[in-house]
Amino acid sequence: MNCCAVKCFASGDIPESLPNMLVHLRDLILYGLSFGQEDELRFVLLLVASSPNLKKVKMEMNYNPTNHKPP
């Protein structure tokens, strides 16, 4: 999953849980992420928490200090 898909899903209100568990998701590969954006991080954590059979996570992150939102 690339950063555009994550940004799309993270652009609205992020629920505390998904309506269904992602029981068939075993490998999660994410690239182009910017964890300076809190919504992106929350969405990725939601995916991981909703995937009880997840075995492998691979993430490629970009750091751009201009995209960081101060708390």
For residue 31, the model assigns a pLDDT of 83
Tokens representing residue 46 in the block: 């939601």
Plot region of 32 (φ>0 → left; ψ -120 to 50 → alpha; else → beta): left
Q: How many domains does the chain have?
A: 1
The closest of 27, 36, 35, 33 to 58, measured between CA atoms, is 27
Q: Considering only CA atoms, give the Rg of the chain.
A: 12
Q: Does the pLDDT value for residue 52 go beyond 70? A: yes
For residue 22, the model assigns a pLDDT of 92
For residue 23, the model assigns a pLDDT of 97
The domain in which residue 57 lies consists of 3-14+21-67
3-state secondary structure of 35: coil
Over residues 2-48, the pLDDT tens digits come to 455 555 555 567 778 888 999 999 999 988 877 676 777 888 888 89
For residue 69, the model assigns a pLDDT of 57
